[in-house]
Amino acid sequence: MGGLQKKKYERGSATNYITRNKARKKLQLSLADFRRLCILKGIYPHEPKHKKKVNKGSTAPRTFYLFKDIRFLLHEPIVRKFREYKVFVRKLRKAYGKAEWTGVERLRDNKPGYKLDHIIKERYPTFIDALRDIDDALSMCFLFSTFARTGKCHVQTITLCRRLTVEWMNYVVTSRSLRKVFLSIKGIYYQAEVLGQLITWLVPYQFAHDHPTDVDYRVMATFTEMYTTLFGFINFRLYQTLNLVYPPKLDSKAESELKAEHEEDYAMDSESYLEKLSALSASLARVVATAEEEENQLDLFPTEGEDQENMQAREKEQKEQEAQKRLFEGLKFFLNREVPRESLAFILRCFGAEVSWDKSLCIGGTYEVTDETITHQIVDRPDMDKQYINRYYIQPQWVFDSVNAQMRLPVEDYFLGTTLPPHLSPFVEEKDGDYVPPEKLKLMALQRGEKPVQEEEDEEEEDEEEEEEDDEEEDDVDDEELTEEKNLKKMEGTRAQGKTLAVKVTPGKVKPWETGSVGNKVRLEQEEKAEEKRLAIMMMKKKEKYLYDKIMFGKKRTTREVNKLTAKRKAHEDASKSQKKQKKAKKQ
Amino acid sequence: STLWANKSTNLQRGDTASTIDVSVLDIRNTVGNVPMEWYQDYPHIGYNLDGKKIFKPIRNKDELDEFLDKMENPDYWRTVHDKTTASDIRLTDEQVDLVHRLQKGQFGDVNFNEYEPSVDFFTNEVMIHPVTNRPQDKRSFIPSLIEKEKVSKLVHAIKMGWIKPRKPKETTPQYYDLWAKEDPNAILGRHKMHVPAPKMRLPGHEESYNPPPEYLLTEEERLVWEQQDAEDRKLPFLPQKHSCLRAVPAFSRFIHERFERCLDLYLCPRQRKMRVNVNPEDLIPKLPKPKDLQPFPTTMSLVYRGHTSLVRSISASPTGQWLVSGSDDFTVRFWEVNTGRCMKTLEVGGAVKSVAWNPNPAVCLVAVCFERTVLLLNPSLGDRLVVSSTDQLITAYEPPEEDKEQAVTWALSEGLEHNMGHRLTLTHPKAVKQVVWHGKGDYLSSVMPDNSSNLQVLIHQVSKRRTQNPFRKNKGLVQCVSFHPLRPYFFVATQRYVRVYNLIKQELTKKLMTNCKWISSMAIHPGGDNLICGSYDCRLAWFDLDLSTKPYKMLRHHKKALRGVAYHRNYPLFASGADDGSVIVCHGMVYNDLLQNPLIVPVKVLKGHQITHDLGVLDVTFHPTQPWVFSSGADTTIRLFT
């Protein structure tokens, strides 16, 4: 055989991948800088199909990047900025060492910086792309905006994050795009629908953070750097779509209204403006002053058949959404000082309510507690001393549950000092076979417009149905064989006994399903079908059998979980019932 | 206190340091300002002016003296101990006064006036006469040349544009419409295969601050949760219930979770996973309904009892009226099929490995093998004519002129044995495992598994009492053999292969790869073009001999090792029995059209045999005319399924 011998690992997948260390060396960057670059440019490692081949025969655990990705990074202008910064740090250190203070100052003035605009444009070529990826940015900015201004990151970053989040909230309020809210133990989840994209973010509760030591804040800061840039551009664009002024300005009318008497004492002028914005109680200034939002209606096109049905469904949906947007319109809320002001003000304003709070709580309260027109006061304490008759005193969960239910729920369950009904996640969409908590069923009935019926009956029925379904299949499978086996055993037993006699003929029994009653026929059919299925399963190909087994295993697991939950619920209800009875007995 | 003492001595010495030496008394210590501890171990504490030692007082004051002194001496408070002279000094009134004044922070000198009017030597008022008379420098009124040079350089640099004014620092980032000219076609190639990061999982009911009670963990579940590693936990947090929003604490792992998300975003390899979204019902193959494929055995109708040990082998007579079974209890039993009655029991001298009824309906002969013997029996059942003609056939044998050396000795049974039904005894050199008849009923093959010799398979001709060894070479341990039902082919199954020999041409025609580890049994389709092989690794291989040497289909229906397989002679049925105690009957339709593949559909799983010593069904055979199947098992029974 002629020709050169082919060398190993010089073609194929081995050349398509590059290890992290090699990539770093190729880019001439330190690991920290490489990490930063990857974060900013959105480069992530790849898992090769044949790891050993790519790793040139070694099985050592390594991180691989696509070689194309790294080549793509080579042309990034930011890499040069990183190097410049490295040089700057070196120079600065030298100047410090020599105590050349003018030099230090000059160097500091010329500190190299970089912009991420082009990276954002490159990573998100269209606006919708960017909007789709904003979830993490929102959560991160909301987290950073709650940091104390002590050392964990730059103060500018914190203020910028705060500014951007306030802008975002103002946008959501103005566009009324909030859809779902959820009070979890981690924080408050919000979901908004912006330009057709569902955007979910998580805001921590307002507490000082206990900063963990095993978290690398540099990584988080790099992400935040990228996210703030992205977020700012998105905000700009969003404000543009609503014809709002960016950076946001308060309506001139609102501004004059908000002018408090002792504003100078409250904060510096520059700061109080952001505070006023974050109060969310006033509307924003528009580029072109329009009287009111005009109703945007769907244009009607002449359609036929299915399209028409679709159209109608869409119209209905649109209507529902419109109704949801006006959920709290016409209501006047007052927030007590112990409830989370910002989140509640945000939600209530998103659905068109008027909100106010105590003047000492925050700037921007528009009316006092004593206002007679207040319809709801949100309170989170066991009791109130002075209560007005013409308003409801409700707990904050009412607002959240109402938003999720897309209707104003009856306030009775949420009155002061009552035990609250469970707060359900609006993000769970139950498929058939999944567990549905009874509260959800009740809520769904309420949404359909039914009156709340005797609740317990409902639940029990539900439970029974589920159990039956689970049992049925297994029963069918075994029953026939079991009975047969029993009969046989009996026969065998008699045979064994009668062995001493020469031959004994026992009268044959007619099997119960052969008598031909209707129920038995149905049963027989079911059995037949079950057996057919079992036989067909035997004939499956190995691959398909594996897949089938896996699917069935998953199904069984879900049913097991559902059963567990229902059992737990039942046990809980029984316990609470017996407690009630005991209490009654005691009373008597 | 040393400071205090020094101060007091200084006071005694006089006002100024220069006069100390002159004005002191002659008993003054001359050691200077050294720590007095240095003299601790000496009887003296220094030297006076004359160079004489100053001795310590003989008796030092102890605590008690000190105390008495404090109580009795009215001047105690103004008495100071001088360490250098080791004497007590009583302070005078002036000295006490001085101390008081110093303690108050006043000047030591009583007469010192700290508020004397200050004399303003160089006033701010311009006087007529200058303080100095020096004339002004010339440079003070001539512009500096050096500065001029510097400035002109700067001016020149500015003019030339070398120096630019510093740009005002941008503190806040500037935002603008980044996507003003968005061009969806301008997506880079890299982004086409870009995998966007999956979104965070949305929270379920269990994450609520006030979840329904069923989502809260019970005490045991909580303990389990706490003991689990963080990766194994199903929920990354403990569900909690709070009575009101006010009581909800901060989530301690909030920053952690966000950080972990960051790590996921830049460290996790991303891959597009194709999730199969199939309805499991669609995966089940659409087979014809077993109902449409009837007849096939469905229920157990008879159990033949009588054997006391496992029944190794069964065989049905060609008329279908009788059944023979051989068992490990050294007996061969003959049964009437329809009644289940044991017609005859024959004791033989060993565990019966295999029985085979002669397929020729005109002959009533049964081959039984145990140990090294193959016995040909005439059970004398059924048609008398047939029985007698069989006996005649055997006695009609005439030994040939030249007696050939044979591997097997043929012996005619006589006397008592003849009465019992024994007709011919073939004594083999080794233990025989299986006997098989040829379809015509004249030839008979016996298997003596042995790994080391070529004498494993023998073919006997009953009418001529002749035996031959067809193979010259050992091709592996022979498991079973079989004759082709129509053509002169001979099938030999070794451990992993089935070899097909042409008996006329005396050559190997085919070698079938079974893909099994160890073949246990084999059956040939009555058409002769298909073959099934059961194996100890739970598989059944169907070969289409015209198609390929590889199995057409592998069936893994049984859970345990297959022991016996059988085809039905007339109906398109085959059955397999295995150690899991079940007999599976399948519909195996073979079409005359060569282009159409055989249709294999399992139609019934027949259970009934009990598993004893990990053995279930040992042999299966079909009724020659009816769609019935017999199975013999390790539970000493034979069962008939109809």
Per-residue pLDDT tens over the stretch B278-307? 888 888 888 888 888 888 888 888 888 888
For A255-274, what is each residue's pLDDT tens digit?
A: 666 665 555 556 666 677 78
Contacts for B468 with CB less than 8 Å, ≥ 6 apart: B458, B459
Contacting residues of B for A235, CB less than 8 Å apart:
175
Give the span between the Cα atoms of A144 and B533, in whole angstroms: 71
Contacting residues of B for A239, CB less than 8 Å apart:
none
> Is B245–A130 a contact, with Cβ atoms under 8 angstroms apart?
no
Residues B496/B519, Cβ–Cβ less than 8 Å = yes
pTM listed for this prediction:
0.68
Q: What are phi and psi of A272, to 5 degrees?
A: -65, -25
Quick one: pLDDT at residue A288?
65
Average pLDDT, chain B: 84
Residues A304/A324, Cβ–Cβ less than 8 Å = no
Quick one: pLDDT at residue A509?
64
| Tokens 């802008």 belong to residue | A167
Give the span between the Cα atoms of A486 and A509, in whole angstroms: 13
Name the pLDDT band for A227 (thresholds 50, 70, 90).
Answer: very high
CB-nearest partner of B190 from A68, A210, A536: A68
Residue in A with minimal Cα distance to B287: A536
Residue in B with minimal Cα distance to A344: B245
For A349-370, what is each residue's pLDDT tens digit?
A: 999 888 888 888 888 788 888 8
> Is B248–A534 a contact, with Cβ atoms under 8 angstroms apart?
no
Give the span between the Cα atoms of A183 and A425, in whole angstroms: 8
Least Cα separation, residue A561 to chain B (angstroms): 11
The dihedral region occupied by B636, where left means phi > 0, alpha psi between -120 and 50, and beta the remainder, is left
- Statement: residue A250 has pLDDT above 50: yes
* 3-state secondary structure labels for all residues of B166-202: CCCCCCCCCCCCCCCCCCHHHCCHHHHCCCCCCCCCC
For B422-475, what is each residue's pLDDT tens digit?
A: 888 888 888 898 999 988 888 889 998 888 888 888 888 888 888 888 888 888
Q: Considering only CA atoms, which of A281, A255, A405, A387 is closest in space to residue A344?
A: A281
Give the span between the Cα atoms of B373 and B349, in whole angstroms: 9
Quick one: pLDDT at residue A90?
96
Quick one: pLDDT at residue A430?
84
| Cα end-to-end span (Å), chain B | 123
Residues 7-66 (B) with a CB less than 8 A from some CB of A: none
Residues B375/B369, Cβ–Cβ less than 8 Å = yes
**Strand pairing report for B322-327 and B311-316:** antiparallel
Half-sphere exposure of B574 (CA within 13 A, CB side): 26
Residues B424/B373, Cβ–Cβ less than 8 Å = no
Two tokens at A54?
């790519």
CB-nearest partner of A47 from B186, B269, B602: B269
- Residue B338, chain A, CB below 8 Å: the answer is no
Give the span between the Cα atoms of A271 and A252, in whole angstroms: 18
**Mean pLDDT calculated for residue range B311-316:** 90
Contacting residues of B for A135, CB less than 8 Å apart:
199-200
Half-sphere exposure of B425 (CA within 13 A, CB side): 16
Give the span between the Cα atoms of B309 and B332, in whole angstroms: 11
Residue type, B343: M
Give the span between the Cα atoms of A561 and A559, in whole angstroms: 5
For B131-152, what is each residue's pLDDT tens digit?
A: 788 888 888 889 899 999 999 9
**Does residue B94 sit in helix, strand or coil?**
helix
- Which comes out higher in pLDDT, residue A326 or B224? B224
* 3-state secondary structure labels for all residues of B579-613: CCCEEEEEEEECCCCCCCCCEEEEEEEEECCCCEC
CB-nearest partner of B207 from A127, A186, A419: A186
For A403-437, what is each residue's pLDDT tens digit?
A: 999 888 888 888 888 889 999 999 998 887 788 88
Give the span between the Cα atoms of B355 and B314, in whole angstroms: 6
How deeply is A145 buried, as exposed, middle or buried, from its count of CB atoms within 10 A (0-12, 13-18, 19+)?
buried
Quick one: pLDDT at residue B25?
45
Name the pLDDT band for B24 (thresholds 50, 70, 90).
Answer: very low
**Strand pairing report for B497-502 and B507-513:** antiparallel
> Is B265–A44 a contact, with Cβ atoms under 8 angstroms apart?
yes
- Statement: residue A293 has pLDDT above 50: no
Two tokens at B331?
């007996």
Name the pLDDT band for B534 (thresholds 50, 70, 90).
Answer: very high
Give the span between the Cα atoms of A64 and A21, in whole angstroms: 9
Give the span between the Cα atoms of A442 and A429, in whole angstroms: 15
Residues A411/A372, Cβ–Cβ less than 8 Å = no
Quick one: pLDDT at residue B167?
77
Residues B312/B432, Cβ–Cβ less than 8 Å = no
Quick one: pLDDT at residue B557?
87
Q: Considering only CA atoms, which of A479, A480, A442, A482 is closest in space to residue A462?
A: A442
Give the span between the Cα atoms of B127 and B617, in whole angstroms: 139
Quick one: pLDDT at residue A457?
42
Tell me how many residue pairs between chain A and chain B have CB atoms under 8 A apart.
Answer: 270
Residue type, B276: V
Residues B589/B525, Cβ–Cβ less than 8 Å = no
How far is residue A487 from each of residues A490, A528, B211, measured CA to CA in Å?
A: 5, 19, 52
Q: Considering only CA atoms, which of B633, B527, B637, B544 is closest in space to residue B580?
A: B633
Q: Where are the beta strands (DSSP E) in B352-401?
A: 352-357, 366-370, 373-377
Give the span between the Cα atoms of A215 and A217, in whole angstroms: 6
CB-nearest partner of A204 from B210, B239, B251: B251
β-strand partners of B47:
B53
Half-sphere exposure of A207 (CA within 13 A, CB side): 18
Give the span between the Cα atoms of B381 and B228, in whole angstroms: 73
Q: Considering only CA atoms, which of B342, B384, B378 is closest in space to residue B357?
A: B378
For A436-482, what is each residue's pLDDT tens digit?
A: 888 888 888 888 877 655 444 444 444 444 444 444 444 444 444 45
> Is A204–B254 a contact, with Cβ atoms under 8 angstroms apart?
yes
How far is residue A218 from each of residues A376, A396, A581, B155, measured CA to CA in Å?
A: 45, 37, 59, 45
CB-nearest partner of A44 from B204, B268, B603: B268
> Is A120–B269 a contact, with Cβ atoms under 8 angstroms apart?
no
Quick one: pLDDT at residue B276?
73
- Residue A235, chain B, CB below 8 Å: the answer is yes
Contacting residues of B for A551, CB less than 8 Å apart:
278, 280, 283
How deeply is A208 buried, as exposed, middle or buried, from its count of CB atoms within 10 A (0-12, 13-18, 19+)?
exposed
Residues 214-233 (B) with a CB less than 8 A from some CB of A: 214-215, 218
Residue in B with minimal Cα distance to A186: B251
ipTM exceeding 0.85, yes/no: no
Q: Considering only CA atoms, which of B632, B498, B613 is closest in space to residue B563?
A: B632
> Is B176–A233 a contact, with Cβ atoms under 8 angstroms apart?
yes
Contacting residues of A for B164, CB less than 8 Å apart:
none
Q: Considering only CA atoms, which of B258, B58, B341 is closest in space to residue A186?
A: B258
Two tokens at A40?
């900013």
* Opening angle at CA B429, ends B425 and B434, nearest 5: 65
The dihedral region occupied by A2, where left means phi > 0, alpha psi between -120 and 50, and beta the remainder, is beta
| Tokens 């001595």 belong to residue | B9
**Does residue B315 sit in helix, strand or coil?**
strand
- Which comes out higher in pLDDT, residue A518 or B375? B375
Residues 115-134 (A) with a CB less than 8 A from some CB of B: 115, 117, 120-127, 130, 132-133
Give the span between the Cα atoms of B273 and B253, in whole angstroms: 30
Residues 341-380 (B) with a CB less than 8 A from some CB of A: 341
Buried b / exposed e along B562-601 (16+ C-beta atoms within 10 A): bbbbbbbbebbbbbbbbbbbbbbbbbbebeeeeeeebebb
Two tokens at B193?
């295969």
Two tokens at B547?
């198609």
